[in-house]
Amino acid sequence: MEIQIVNTLPSETEAIIYLFRQGDTLSDQLSVFTNAAFLKQDFKAEAKQVITLYENDRKVYLVGLGKNPREADFIKILRSFFYKQKRSLPNLVALDLMAGAIEKEWVEVITNGILLGDYDLDLYKTTKKEDLNFFEKDTKLQFIIADAAVEAAVQQVHRGEEIAFTQIRIMDLMNAPSNKKSPQSLAEWATDSGEKYGYSVTVWDEKQCESEGLEALLAVSFGSRNPPRFIQLEYKHPNANKKIGLVGKGVTFDTGGISLKQSANMHYMKSDMGGAAAVLGTIEAAAKLQLPVHLIGIIPATENSIDGLATKPGDVVGSYSGKTIEIIDTDAEGRVILADALSYLVRNHQPDTIIDLATLTGSCVAALGYSAAGMFTDNDQLAQELYESGQQTGEKLWRLPLWDDYKEDVNSDVADVKNFHGKPFAGAIVAAKFLEVFVEEHPRWAHLDIAGTAFGDSEFGTMKSATGYGIRLLLCWLQERH
């Protein structure tokens, strides 16, 4: 499928799509259609509402956007429409971005949503649908745009395509089961991406992790036959003037270890590398788009499994920082591996800003549900920046406290810190306080707990699946602030 930018409706177009907002002008906009009286009664332009009709020997789709659509709304609505229609669309389709007064700024997210409509979850099905869909055939999708906006639209289409292609790769990675995904496969994904898009990747195996003192990462990996990997990525544009550190939790499967999880939803723990996925996707997309930024990505990758060598509750382990950690709960492993990654980043790269992302706590899901991730930072400016980017992209954040009132909950009698406070409340906050110990008072650090947003229910499958959360959020923040 090829996207083209045109300024008039080609005569050979077989179908045309119109996008409409709810509002006072909707009735006037519908007046141009033959059956306007009926349309005005039936079509209210509610979000995802679709009406199909025929005009001038063409199939016409009217798609509702709701009252005040934002980036996330355009993406969700266009993804839904093309996902449902991709096997019935003809070979030449036009999308009229003038009739519904759609501003040129939305071209990128419209493109992004359309291409995500091609994504299917059938990664390992042996029987595929025989007929090719709209995205797989030699088809054309033409955006009808005013002359003055054509040049900008071409650039926005390119950006929307590149981000969508990376999001799809990341969703494949997250949706892969643990027998198809390991710490080594994350390292290979990063290496292949770096070679293709021009950024550097360094991978340490378990022996290098041991020689470098990554004792916390190694402690979590002891129960698995798949050894850990410490993945370091660097993308540097020649015009960059700030260094941004991104850290992502890369647990490719989490049994909980000796503190075993309940079996009911354990199969979803293949998604416990959602933070790593966000970092991988952000750096790949930034490199593809040649954003003028300098990014350092750190991904501690491991499995949290069980055997006779697995770390046990009550064990005390070391860390890259030199601090000792008492393991109260082996299912609080994400913060333990992040401890090594954060310390390593601070001491070896001295970034101007640090953002870590992790599917860290059920407590954050209990507090915020599936609509927003938890944000923890003592830097008000950074908090506002990230909040605004989340509001713009729809990958929302809500700030939770990082007060020292909770500091005593990570104090240990036998070690420098403990990894779990053992109480049925404030779990996300205490996890953030634990991580704070290892950023060594960095003035611009934010921790994003994405447990409720990285993997969830959708109309595109019967089970939970990857959302790609964090990529658009971070790209927006990088573009707006750096």
- Specify the CATH number for the domain of residue 312: 3.40.630.10
Per-residue pLDDT of 249-268, as tens digits, reads: 999 999 999 999 999 999 99
The answer as to whether 393 is a domain residue is: yes
pLDDT score, position 158: 96
Taking the C-alpha atoms of residue 93 and residue 137, their distance in angstroms, rounded to an integer, is 13
Taking the C-alpha atoms of residue 102 and residue 173, their distance in angstroms, rounded to an integer, is 34
The answer as to whether 170 is a domain residue is: no
pLDDT score, position 482: 76
Residues 213 and 278 in one domain: yes
Residues 120 and 260 in one domain: no
**Region 214-222 average pLDDT:** 98
Contact between 166 and 210 (Cβ < 8 Å)? no
Phi then psi dihedrals of residue 417, to 5 deg: -145, 165
Residues 421 and 278 in one domain: yes
pLDDT band at 353 (very low <50, low <70, confident <90, very high): very high
Is the pLDDT at 244 greater than 70? The verdict is: yes
As given in the structure block, the two tokens for residue 275 are 């933070």
169 is catalytic: no
Per-residue pLDDT of 117-157, as tens digits, reads: 999 999 999 987 878 999 999 999 999 998 888 889 999 99
What residue numbers bound the domain in which 55 lies? 2-163
What percentage of the chain has pLDDT greater than the value 70?
Answer: 99
What's the CATH code of the domain at 86? 3.40.220.10
The answer as to whether 120 is a domain residue is: yes
Neighbours of 96 (CB within 10 A): 18
pLDDT score, position 100: 60
Residue from 261, 323, 407, 481 carrying the catalytic annotation:
261
Residues 96 and 24 in one domain: yes
Per-residue pLDDT of 302-325, as tens digits, reads: 999 999 999 999 999 999 999 999
pLDDT score, position 146: 86
What's the whole-number average pLDDT of the chain?
A: 96
Residues 339 and 308 in one domain: yes
**What pTM did the predictor assign?**
0.97
Taking the C-alpha atoms of residue 172 and residue 284, their distance in angstroms, rounded to an integer, is 15
Q: Which among 163, 188, 205 is the end of a domain? A: 163
Residues 118 and 219 in one domain: no
Q: Which among 109, 138, 163 is the end of a domain? A: 163
The answer as to whether 168 is a domain residue is: no
pLDDT score, position 101: 58
Is the pLDDT at 481 greater than 90? The verdict is: no
Is the pLDDT at 184 greater than 80? The verdict is: yes
The answer as to whether 66 is a domain residue is: yes
What is the tally of structural domains in the chain?
2
> String of b and e for 177-208 (b: at least 16 CB within 10 Å)?
ebeebbbbbbbebbbebbeebebebebbebee
Q: Which among 129, 163, 197 is the end of a domain? A: 163
Residues 156 and 245 in one domain: no
Per-residue pLDDT of 54-101, as tens digits, reads: 998 999 999 999 999 999 999 999 999 999 999 999 999 999 988 665
Residue 226, helix vs strand vs coil: coil
Residues 154 and 194 in one domain: no
What percentage of the chain has pLDDT greater than the value 90?
Answer: 93
The answer as to whether 173 is a domain residue is: no
Residues 125 and 213 in one domain: no
pLDDT score, position 130: 78
- Considering only 129-133, 231-235, 330-334, 341-345, which range has the smallest mean pLDDT? 129-133
261 is catalytic: yes
The answer as to whether 399 is a domain residue is: yes
**Region 337-348 average pLDDT:** 98
**Region 451-470 average pLDDT:** 96
pLDDT score, position 129: 80
Residues 422 and 278 in one domain: yes
Question: Binding-site residues for Mn(2+), please?
Answer: 249, 254, 272, 331, 333
Taking the C-alpha atoms of residue 250 and residue 379, their distance in angstroms, rounded to an integer, is 26
**Region 451-477 average pLDDT:** 97
The answer as to whether 169 is a domain residue is: no
Residues 70 and 207 in one domain: no
DSSP states along 259-290: SPPPSTTGGGGGGTTHHHHHHHHHHHHHHHHT
Residue from 335, 418, 444, 472 carrying the catalytic annotation:
335
Q: Check residues 104 and 381 and name the one with the higher pLDDT.
A: 381
Residues 22 and 130 in one domain: yes
